[in-house]
Amino acid sequence: MMMNQRYAQSPKEVSGLNTAGLRENFLIEDLMQPDQFNFTYSHYDRAIVGSVVPVNSEQELPVYDNLKSDYFLERREMGIINVGGAGQVTIDGTTYDVSKLDAVFAGKGSKQVVFKSLSTDSPALFYLYSVPAHKEYPHQLIRKENASPTTLGSSATANERTIYKYIHLEGARSSQLVMGLTILATGSVWNTMPSHVHDRRMEAYFYFDVPADQVVFHMMGQPQETRHIVVKNNQALISPPWSIHSGGGTSNYGFIWAMGGENLVYSDIDPIAIKDLR
C-alpha cells in the first residue's frame, strides 16, 4: 500500500506553474473522508500530511510501503488534532479522550495507534502530521485550554487571532515536530500577516471551520513573487521553506500549522514587511 507523494520544487520551477500546476503540487484536497486514512508524503523535510474520520468503526494506523518500516511510527513521530466531534486516540494501550481542538502527540516507537469517534452523528475529524524523529519522547494529551493561547493582531487590520501552541519547546516535547493552531476572531480574515519565511523548516497549513460557501486565498511563493491558491474547508497546503505562508478568507475560520526541519524554535522566522511584498 502506497501513500500519495509530492516532490519538492525550487522557486524557479514554481514561478512557471499556472493555477492547475500550483494546486497539483501544493494543495491537498482529499482529507477528512469517512472511515479511511488519507496521507500525502512531501519530499520537503519528509513531512506527511494526513487525516482519518472514524465513523462506523475504529481505524488503526496502517503502515505504508513508502516508509520501508515495520510500523508507521518506527522512525517517526506524529501530531494529532481533532477538529470534529468527541473522539478517542489509543496509543499502545493507553486511551485519551480527545475533544474538539485537543491534541495528542504520538512519539517515535509508538507501535499501535487507534482512532475512534464517540458518535456516528458527529464523528471526530483527526488531522495528522508526521515527521522523521531521531529521539523518543512520550506520547501526551494536550488540551486546548493548556496550549499557551496568545492573542495577536487587531480588528483594525482584520487579523485579530488567537494562537494555540501544542507541540513546541515549552509545551509537549518532540524530536523535531512543532504544531499548533490559530483561530480568527469574528470579523478578522487575515492569518500570519505580516508574513514571513523560515528557510530552516517547511510548514503545512490545514484550514478548518471554513463555511461551505466561503474560501481562503492562501498566499505562497517568494516574498517578491507571491502566488495564491484558493482553499476550501478541510483542505491543506504544503509550504516550502523558501515560501511565505499566509492567507485571507472571505469569512473567519481556523487553521492548523505544523512544521518540521532544522530546529524547534517557534519564533525562528524571517519577517517580511507588508510594504515589501510583491
Radius of gyration of the chain (CA): 18
Q: What pLDDT, on a 0 to 100 scale, did the predictor assign at position 48?
A: 98
Query: Per residue in 140-153, pLDDT tens?
Result: 999 999 998 999 99
Question: Residue 17 in 3-state DSSP?
Answer: coil
Query: Per residue in 21-78, pLDDT tens?
Result: 999 999 999 999 999 999 999 999 999 999 999 999 999 999 999 999 999 999 999 9
Cell of 151: 492573542
Q: What pLDDT, on a 0 to 100 scale, did the predictor assign at position 204?
A: 98
Residue with cell 470534529: 84
Res 239 pLDDT > 90: yes
Q: What pLDDT, on a 0 to 100 scale, did the predictor assign at position 148?
A: 86
Q: Which domains does the chain have, with CATH numbers?
A: 10-276 (2.60.120.10)
Asked if residues 142 and 89 have their Cβ atoms less than 8 Å apart, the reply is no
Cell of 142: 494536550
212-218, Cβ contacts within 8 angstroms, sequence gap of 24 or more: 214/249, 214/250, 214/251, 214/253, 215/249, 215/250, 216/247, 216/248, 216/249, 216/250, 216/253, 216/255, 217/247, 217/248, 217/249, 218/245, 218/246, 218/247
CA distance 35 to 133: 27
Query: Per residue in 113-148, pLDDT tens?
Result: 999 999 999 999 999 999 999 999 999 999 999 998
Asked if residues 182 and 231 have their Cβ atoms less than 8 Å apart, the reply is no
Residue 166: left if φ>0, alpha if ψ -120 to 50, beta else—which one? alpha
Q: What pLDDT, on a 0 to 100 scale, did the predictor assign at position 145?
A: 93
Q: What percent of the chain has pLDDT over 70?
A: 100
Q: What pLDDT, on a 0 to 100 scale, did the predictor assign at position 267?
A: 85
CA distance 238 to 196: 15
Asked if residues 249 and 210 have their Cβ atoms less than 8 Å apart, the reply is yes
Q: What percent of the chain has pLDDT over 90?
A: 96
Q: What pLDDT, on a 0 to 100 scale, did the predictor assign at position 236?
A: 98
| Contacts of 96 by beta carbon, 8 Å cutoff, 6+ apart | 88, 89, 90, 104, 141
Query: Per residue in 196-235, pLDDT tens?
Result: 999 999 999 999 999 999 999 999 999 999 999 999 999 9
Q: What pLDDT, on a 0 to 100 scale, did the predictor assign at position 257?
A: 98
Q: What pLDDT, on a 0 to 100 scale, did the predictor assign at position 266?
A: 85
What does the mean pLDDT of the chain come to?
96
Residue 18: left if φ>0, alpha if ψ -120 to 50, beta else—which one? beta
Q: What angle do CA 257, 26, 210 make, to 5 degrees?
A: 55
| Contacts of 237 by beta carbon, 8 Å cutoff, 6+ apart | 26, 27, 28, 204, 205, 206, 207, 218, 220, 229, 231, 245
